[in-house]
């Protein structure tokens, strides 16, 4: 949708077989284009997307390309070449403070429960079936196609558990038991979810490097609505609502100060924050 809104852009959906056939010869395709900008959506569906981008950057500088696709582009075997010096990356995040002009963004409760993906945020009410379908599509499109995993139920269960326990410490043994897989498999699952940006792993910092390595990192869901969905949360509790309704600054959690070595969990709401365990999300920054 964003690509198509650019004036004068030529749009190609690489999910269409006819488009993929047209792009089988990158040089001939690029030579046939007039000067300007093109959008290649779902570019990871091409057999060799890197070759096309390299040829365009090196031999057809008059053509500017917006290449969009799965969140797993960087982790895909098709993109082992980093294209250093030939590209600029733009990562789209859920709605954040810079999107304050977006319709309805000022409603913090709505932003918390509906998240920051425009399609979900603009719905009149949250339908949990939509999130289940989103997760199924995530498995089919981002995971199965590129990572070739076999245990769908175990993987999706792990993803939902991580979201439900957002901000919790990662305990591979506990997750392995809950999902019926080995610890190495769970660690691999976490790496995949981090690579696809469904979760964010906050690596520990300590002045003593040995302690930093041994520390277990907290893991955060990428957006608050997915955390709320996985927890079955459909309303904001009065305590949380009262803390976010007025005032500013940081509200310490009951777990103590981070400077004393304790955990500190927060939900960031503009310049406000409140201590609410289990639904923090540093990636939203709303």
Structural domain span for residue 227: 103-238
CATH of the domain at 39: 3.40.50.300
Q: Are residues 112 and 199 in the same domain?
A: yes
Instruction: Say if residues 30 and 60 touch (Cβ distance below 8 Å).
Output: yes
Tell whether 164 is covered by a domain. Answer: yes
pLDDT at residue 1 in the model: 67
Question: Does the pLDDT value for residue 208 go beyond 80?
Answer: no
Whole-number Å distance between alpha carbons of 40 and 19: 10
| CA pseudo-torsion sign 177, 179, 185, 190 | negative
- Cα Rg of the chain (Å, integer): 21
Whole-number Å distance between alpha carbons of 122 and 114: 8
pLDDT at residue 272 in the model: 32
pLDDT at residue 212 in the model: 53
Of the CA atoms within 13 Å of residue 241, those in its CB half-sphere come to 8
Q: Are residues 73 and 115 in the same domain?
A: no
Lowest mean pLDDT among 45-59, 149-163, 178-192, 256-270: 256-270
Length of the chain measured in residues: 286
CATH of the domain at 192: 1.10.10.10
The C-alpha angle with vertex 253 and arms to 250 and 257, in degrees rounded to 5, equals 85
> Which of 10, 1, 63 is CA-nearest to residue 40?
10
Q: Where does the pLDDT of residue 204 fall: very low under 50, low under 70, confident under 90, or very high at 90 and above?
A: confident
When comparing pLDDT for 177 and 244, which is higher? 177
Question: Does the pLDDT value for residue 253 go beyond 60?
Answer: no
Mean pLDDT of the chain: 80
Of the CA atoms within 13 Å of residue 153, those in its CB half-sphere come to 4
Instruction: Say if residues 54 and 86 touch (Cβ distance below 8 Å).
Output: yes
Question: Does the pLDDT value for residue 265 go beyond 60?
Answer: no
Whole-number Å distance between alpha carbons of 42 and 224: 26
**Cα 145 vs. chain centroid, distance in angstroms?**
17
Instruction: Say if residues 236 and 113 touch (Cβ distance below 8 Å).
Output: yes
Percentage of residues in the chain having pLDDT higher than 70 = 74
Domain count, the chain: 2
Q: Are residues 192 and 110 in the same domain?
A: yes
pLDDT at residue 193 in the model: 94
Tell whether 73 is covered by a domain. Answer: yes
Instruction: Say if residues 231 and 279 touch (Cβ distance below 8 Å).
Output: yes
Q: Are residues 73 and 107 in the same domain?
A: no
Q: What are residue 26's phi and psi, to 5 degrees?
A: -55, -40
């Amino acid at each position: 949708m964003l690509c198509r809104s650019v004036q004068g852009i030529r749009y190609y959906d690489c999910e269409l077989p006819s488009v993929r056939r047209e792009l089988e010869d990158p040089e001939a395709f690029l030579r046939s284009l007039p000067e300007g900008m093109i959008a290649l959506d779902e570019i990871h569906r091409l057999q060799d997307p890197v070759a096309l981008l390299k040829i365009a950057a090196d031999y057809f500088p008059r053509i500017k390309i917006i290449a969009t696709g799965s969140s797993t582009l960087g982790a895909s075997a098709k993109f082992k070449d980093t294209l250093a010096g030939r590209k600029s990356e733009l990562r789209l995040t859920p709605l954040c403070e810079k999107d304050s002009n977006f319709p309805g963004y000022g409603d913090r409760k709505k932003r918390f429960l509906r998240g920051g993906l425009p399609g979900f945020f603009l719905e009149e009410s949250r339908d949990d079936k939509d999130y289940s379908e989103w997760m199924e599509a995530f498995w089919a499109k981002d995971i199965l196609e590129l990572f070739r995993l076999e245990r769908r139920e175990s993987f999706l269960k792990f993803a939902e558990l991580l979201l439900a326990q957002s901000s919790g410490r990662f305990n591979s043994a506990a997750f392995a038991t809950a999902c019926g897989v080995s610890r190495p498999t769970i660690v691999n699952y976490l790496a995949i979810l981090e690579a696809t940006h469904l979760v964010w792993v906050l690596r520990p910092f300590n002045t003593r490097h040995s302690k930093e390595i041994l520390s277990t990192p907290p893991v955060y869901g990428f957006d608050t609505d997915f955390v709320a969905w996985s927890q079955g949360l459909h309303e904001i509790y009065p305590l949380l609502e009262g803390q976010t309704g007025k005032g500013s600054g940081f509200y310490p959690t009951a777990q103590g100060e981070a400077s004393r070595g304790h955990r500190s969990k927060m939900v960031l709401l503009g310049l406000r924050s409140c201590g609410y365990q289990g639904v923090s999300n540093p990636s939203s920054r709303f």
